[in-house]
Structure 1
């Protein structure tokens, strides 16, 4: 009996110790709620509805009840007179970063807004003006009008975050003001398909519509991120949310505050991931780095001597593990500063210095011209190639290559090569003509993967083919 009692006491002691080891967020929430704000916006949009089933003359012949139904403000057919507008309201979160009223939030929270109102937790509602936005990082800076001696958050360092540490979010999900939710950092440096310049913090903190733009705190009460996106199939939280690192956000904030716009570093290359097969063909022991598929003419990369087929292994001493690591590093580099790159070329590592340029407003994209008719030349890879017409080569800015006119079942099809692709390199050897192509194909090793560089719709990429 005594042993059983001791066992029960031990179990309760273990449970109590576990509870005591969990973080207590009460003080953190109390200290920081004053600097977290609710942002409501109003946008005037043209009233829209379905087409009216009657013209005005026919409508006047209907009973008054039906006229009110079709013309009323809640009519499914738009209602009102032509040109009428209706207010569209949305809600989000933000936080105050300076006592004179500068507020950070997401660009998508205030995009298109005609009126912005910031509500503090003491129930004050203050109008705010838009200082500037940066759609590429989904950030916006607001200024509370007549802001003076306002509460502010403490800014931390997202670069010090570690996977597994506790974080807390404060925001207004579904309009429920000052909701606190907690979780852990699930991963760092996440790249999303629609974002190239933000290495997102992934968390399992419950984030829902209305949390956007709100702060993510560490246990020291410092802001380490801005809650921005969720991954969902239902429209609600599913355990995966993303925050913009505060280091990147404050860089954007300072540029918008000081000069009204954001400039980013630019290398001028198209990159792709190094897969296991590509790593083998390029002589890497494991997949790593960013493979340069194309170097843009006149770009900083071209002037520094970077070439298609180079693999960037390090940028200013920081290792490139995934290709998605490189764009944020370049984007954060001040324009005009020199960056040092470690590059793998032809199986040999080398160092190159690149003076970083400014990211152009519009991407330099090229479109492929229609494939001309010409006498094809077959090759034993399941594809047919033909000479590359001069006008197409000029439009693609390539000095040589062969045009793929047909792909049958075989290694080429399995590699992802398609008709109208332009092959400029095979097995790390330059292809300038059909004759070059035939010679390289004849000498291809058997039962070993080889790399193929193709230009498709103006974009270069490397594929892996297994003859």
Structure 2
């Protein structure tokens, strides 16, 4: 009996030790802030590492079950007028006809009262938006707001019951190699689930350097745009946006807007009616072996400041040309996508701690972000600024930069004709905003001629070469 009691005690202690070791090994802590008065729900402080090879650790069923009921089918119906000159010529009628187009995608419910996040390209130009839940119930959705730069849109449906919804995780805490699930609802099927790992972070696929994607090898196909990328706990870490493919179908990689960026956009739309973008106030580029060699510096990672914008937070904080930004708050900065991705989670007047290298020494300075609309840039004696909401409405455009002033002596005689015009393209590249235009000009010098397409104050489009 004594021997049995000893064995029982040893077994009990072994079990307790095993359970304690399991908790230490597999239950980590992460950081997720809760935002009051927000439709966005964040995950609890339990961002764990589910890593290993056992079938128990790699069981995705709970995460899938949590997510499939929160992912919806999005149907976009748009109507456009098309001309039929043959009918008009022969019969005198039928010159104008209404044509209906239907597009589909996915979306993610983010609140029990029916707010849904999807991609902007899924609902672009829609005259009607229909949402079908995983239980096959359908609703007409209202468009609350969009952000074309980050390809995010916010919708709202009025359902009879409280809806299941996804909670937001901290996408900055996502690790390369971490297991993830991609969940979509394509072609009005019930939700579909694929699994993969995070292949890379801060991927920049946009020529303007706006985006900072999470890259994964979880299979995503057309129709899954706007769906959820979740961790193994079923928490939202991204909104699936695009695939990289020469055929239009999945061939290895897919990309998602990080949840921190999506969350900030949603909260901006709800609070301000539009997206509030903060600007650090620096221009330059990311370092690599060749760039560093050309600049004559040893550092091969980070963001090299080539220019500091006037009256910006960067200038007021003393940042200079030649400084190398290596960290923003606690986020390491190795590429331009790292920098732009982190700044895109901030608003004007937010403060960030900028760690930079100057003369071989690390320095830290707080920088207050400025508002994007206040920024200007200048090239070849033409000062440019971002267009505002009135310009967009007046000319029925959603991008462009306005000519604020002319200082070029050769162009001064055309000052009245050029001032106030809106530039749409520079050398066949869209002039989406000041950031994009600055990047275009960075690769050119004053000796190069450039072709500019613009719209004048009368709404007429014309081109000039300077």
TM above 0.5, yes or no, is yes
3-state DSSP of counterpart to 2:247: coil
Report Cα offsets for 1:172-195 as digits up to 9, x if no partner.
345544222111111112122246
Matched-pair contact (CA < 8 Å) for 1:184–1:203: yes
Q: Any gaps of 5 or more consecutive residues in structure 1?
A: 1-16, 61-79, 371-388, 396-417, 424-454, 459-467
Could you say which residue in structure 2 is the equivalent of 1:41?
76
Q: Decide whether aligned partners of structure 1 residues 100 and 283 sit closer, same or farther in structure 2, where only a CA change above 3 A counts.
A: same
Is residue 52 from structure 1 mapped to residue 86 from structure 2 by the alignment? Answer: yes
Q: Any gaps of 5 or more consecutive residues in structure 2?
A: 1-51, 383-406, 416-441, 452-466
Structure 2 distance, partners of 1:456, 1:225, is: 42
3-state DSSP of counterpart to 1:154: coil
Structure 1 distance, partners of 2:161, 2:55, is: 40
Matched-pair contact (CA < 8 Å) for 2:184–2:191: yes
Could you say which residue in structure 1 is the equivalent of 2:263?
250
Is residue 135 from structure 1 mapped to residue 129 from structure 2 by the alignment? Answer: no
Report Cα offsets for 1:333-374 as digits up to 9, x if no partner.
33213333233345554443322111228x74444369xxxx
Structure 1 distance, partners of 2:299, 2:110, is: 43
Structure 2 distance, partners of 1:268, 1:335, is: 11
Could you say which residue in structure 2 is the equivalent of 1:462?
none
Query: Alpha-carbon deviation of 1:22?
Result: 7.5
Q: Decide whether aligned partners of structure 1 residues 338 and 151 sit closer, same or farther in structure 2, where only a CA change above 3 A counts.
A: closer
Could you say which residue in structure 2 is the equivalent of 1:26?
61
Is residue 108 from structure 1 mapped to residue 121 from structure 2 by the alignment? Answer: yes
Structure 1 distance, partners of 2:289, 2:444, is: 27
3-state DSSP of counterpart to 1:301: helix
3-state DSSP of counterpart to 1:253: helix
Query: Alpha-carbon deviation of 1:40?
Result: 0.3
Q: Which residues in structure 2 correspond to 1:447-466 (within 5 Å)?
A: none
3-state DSSP of counterpart to 1:47: strand
Report Cα offsets for 1:89-128 as digits up to 9, x if no partner.
1001011111111001111111111111100121111011
User: What count of residue pairs does the alignment treat as equivalent?
Assistant: 349
Could you say which residue in structure 2 is the equivalent of 1:421?
445
Could you say which residue in structure 2 is the equivalent of 1:307?
320
Could you say which residue in structure 1 is the equivalent of 2:45?
none
Q: Decide whether aligned partners of structure 1 residues 313 and 121 sit closer, same or farther in structure 2, where only a CA change above 3 A counts.
A: closer
Is residue 144 from structure 1 mapped to residue 157 from structure 2 by the alignment? Answer: yes
Structure 2 distance, partners of 1:147, 1:270, is: 50
Structure 2 distance, partners of 1:122, 1:420, is: 55
Q: Decide whether aligned partners of structure 1 residues 219 and 195 sit closer, same or farther in structure 2, where only a CA change above 3 A counts.
A: farther
Deviation larger for 309-318 or 215-224? 309-318
Matched-pair contact (CA < 8 Å) for 1:106–1:140: yes
Matched-pair contact (CA < 8 Å) for 2:302–2:326: yes
Q: Decide whether aligned partners of structure 1 residues 299 and 234 sit closer, same or farther in structure 2, where only a CA change above 3 A counts.
A: same
Matched-pair contact (CA < 8 Å) for 2:87–2:94: no
Query: Alpha-carbon deviation of 1:327?
Result: 1.6
Matched-pair contact (CA < 8 Å) for 2:108–2:227: yes
Q: Choose which of 277, 298, 302 in structure 2 pairs with 1:289.
A: 302
Could you say which residue in structure 2 is the equivalent of 1:440?
none
Matched-pair contact (CA < 8 Å) for 2:62–2:233: no
Structure 1 distance, partners of 2:66, 2:286, is: 44
Q: Decide whether aligned partners of structure 1 residues 335 and 185 sit closer, same or farther in structure 2, where only a CA change above 3 A counts.
A: same
Q: Decide whether aligned partners of structure 1 residues 182 and 195 sit closer, same or farther in structure 2, where only a CA change above 3 A counts.
A: farther
Q: Decide whether aligned partners of structure 1 residues 252 and 194 sit closer, same or farther in structure 2, where only a CA change above 3 A counts.
A: same
Q: Decide whether aligned partners of structure 1 residues 419 and 86 sit closer, same or farther in structure 2, where only a CA change above 3 A counts.
A: closer
Is residue 276 from structure 1 mapped to residue 276 from structure 2 by the alignment? Answer: no
Query: Alpha-carbon deviation of 1:149?
Result: 0.8
Q: Choose which of 60, 83, 104 in structure 1 pairs with 2:96.
A: 83
Matched-pair contact (CA < 8 Å) for 1:174–1:209: no
Query: Alpha-carbon deviation of 1:152?
Result: 1.3
Could you say which residue in structure 2 is the equivalent of 1:263?
276
Is residue 368 from structure 1 mapped to residue 414 from structure 2 by the alignment? Answer: no
Deviation larger for 246-255 or 21-30? 21-30
Query: Alpha-carbon deviation of 1:263?
Result: 0.4
Query: Alpha-carbon deviation of 1:421?
Result: 2.6
Is residue 92 from structure 1 mapped to residue 124 from structure 2 by the alignment? Answer: no
Matched-pair contact (CA < 8 Å) for 1:100–1:149: yes
Is residue 187 from structure 1 mapped to residue 200 from structure 2 by the alignment? Answer: yes
Structure 2 distance, partners of 1:185, 1:91, is: 26
Matched-pair contact (CA < 8 Å) for 2:63–2:231: no
Q: Decide whether aligned partners of structure 1 residues 337 and 24 sit closer, same or farther in structure 2, where only a CA change above 3 A counts.
A: closer
Structure 2 distance, partners of 1:288, 1:89, is: 45
The normalised TM-score by structure 1 is: 0.67
3-state DSSP of counterpart to 1:344: strand
Runs of 4+ in 1 over 6 A off after TM superposition: 392-395, 455-458
Report Cα offsets for 1:372-402 as digits up to 9, x if no partner.
xxxxxxxxxxxxxxxxx9748999xxxxxxx
Query: Alpha-carbon deviation of 1:257?
Result: 1.9
